[in-house]
Amino acid sequence: MNPDLAAMLAFVAIVLGIIVVGALLIGRQRNDPNEAAPLVFGRMTHAFAGMLPLHFERIENLKADLLRAGYYRRHAAAEYMAIRNVLVVGTILLAGVAIVAVDPSSQLTVPIVITGTVVTIIVFSVPRLILQSQAANRLRQIQYALPDALDMLTMTMTGGVPLSQALGYVQREIEPAYPDLGCELAIIDRHAQTASLDVALQQFANRIDIPDVQSLTALVSQTERLGSNVTQAFQDYSDSVRRGQRQRVEERGNRASVAMILPIVLCLAPPIYILLIGPALIELRDFAVEGTARDGVLRPDVSALDQATQDVAR
């Protein structure tokens, strides 16, 4: 066996051994026995998550994105980092083994290094981009469903049901149509039972960081402090949210019309020019070919030229 390859394999084996031993030691202390579902890597999840440490602020931002995307597992951040770190470290190890295994005279070292670097960057970045896309999509769905939920709350409270009970009724009715908002309403209901409605709505606003939810939280807190009519406030705010959504849709439509100018110029203008100018160019070419042919209108009179030449010679 190649000595370099043997040394590389021994290094990989030692690294994996250290990771497994550390995972077993850490997993006994940090693994939660009350977790509803097992962790993705079992006891090794936290060890894998710590292979590439992150700053505290980045971890908090990651947890916020996970909550916005709907991942409410207690160790969701650890599982995410463990999966990403395993992919990154695995890619680096595979690239290193490939570099050692190839023949140095084959000139494949540089392509392997470049490929490994690109794949490592992709593996490190793409999961976060996917998570942010899921979070943005879920926020849009919640924002779209919020006016309907407010209308249902208004109708329920008009019948004499308190707000705390109305949240439970609306959650059960709206969950089949809007599961994301139904999940958030169920969380608000549980938090309101354990603490208070203000605390539950404030936590909801912290999880779902969009202006409509922030305004709704401030509205409910203000109406409860002032003792005003919550039902009328919900109805007015629902109409305001719908107007805001309509304005945002119109704004996106206006931006789309402006953005379509460039594709129109690049894709539709050349065919139009070809259709308009092409026939004229073809006719001009045919006229030039026929005119320069024998006895053509553009061909000079050979007999007249010969007569003029003879006159000059005399």
Sign of CA dihedral 298, 302, 307, 308: positive
Residue 38 lies in a domain: yes
CA distance 203 to 205: 5
Tell me: do 148 and 54 sit in the same domain.
no
pLDDT of residue 283: 85
pLDDT of residue 26: 44
End position of a domain, from candidates 230, 254, 278: 254
Tell me: do 236 and 161 sit in the same domain.
yes
Residues contacting 201, CB < 8 A, separation 6+: 188, 216, 217, 220, 221
Residue 261 lies in a domain: no
pLDDT of residue 33: 37
pLDDT of residue 280: 86
Residue 31 lies in a domain: yes
Give the 3-state secondary structure of the chain.
CCHHHHHHHHHHHHHHHHHHHHHHHHHHHHCCCCCCCCCCCHHHHHHHHCCCCCCHHHHHHHHHHHHHHCCCCCCHHHHHHHHHHHHHHHHHHHHHHHHHHCCHHHCCHHHHHHHHHHHHHHHHHHHHHHHHHHHHHHHHHHHHHHHHHHHHHHHHHHCCCCHHHHHHHHHHHHCCCCHHHHHHHHHHHHHHHHCCHHHHHHHHHHHCCCHHHHHHHHHHHHHHHHCCCHHHHHHHHHHHHHHHHHHHHHHHHHHHHHHCHHHHHHHHHHHHHHHHHHHHHHHHHHHHHHHCCCCCCCCCCHHHHHHHHHHHHC
pLDDT of residue 4: 57
Tell me: do 181 and 240 sit in the same domain.
yes
Residue 302 lies in a domain: no
End position of a domain, from candidates 41, 75, 101: 101
Tell me: do 168 and 250 sit in the same domain.
yes
**Which tokens in the block code for residue 97?**
């083994």
Tell me: do 155 and 242 sit in the same domain.
yes
> How many domains does the structure of the chain reveal?
2
pTM of the predicted model as reported, rounded to 2 decimal places:
0.67
Counting as low any pLDDT under 50, the low residues of the chain are 1, 23-35, 305
Amino acid of residue 274:
I
Tell me: do 150 and 247 sit in the same domain.
yes
CA distance 219 to 230: 9
Residue 135 lies in a domain: no
Residue 134 lies in a domain: no
Tell me: do 96 and 12 sit in the same domain.
yes
End position of a domain, from candidates 46, 70, 101: 101
Residue 206 lies in a domain: yes
pLDDT of residue 34: 43
Tell me: do 177 and 88 sit in the same domain.
no
Are 176 and 152 spatial neighbours (Cβ–Cβ below 8 Å)? no
CA distance 219 to 2: 72
Tell me: do 194 and 246 sit in the same domain.
yes
Range of the domain at 55: 3-101
Are 77 and 63 spatial neighbours (Cβ–Cβ below 8 Å)? yes
CA distance 21 to 42: 13
pLDDT of residue 155: 84
**Which tokens in the block code for residue 199?**
């605390």
pLDDT of residue 286: 80
Residue 53 lies in a domain: yes
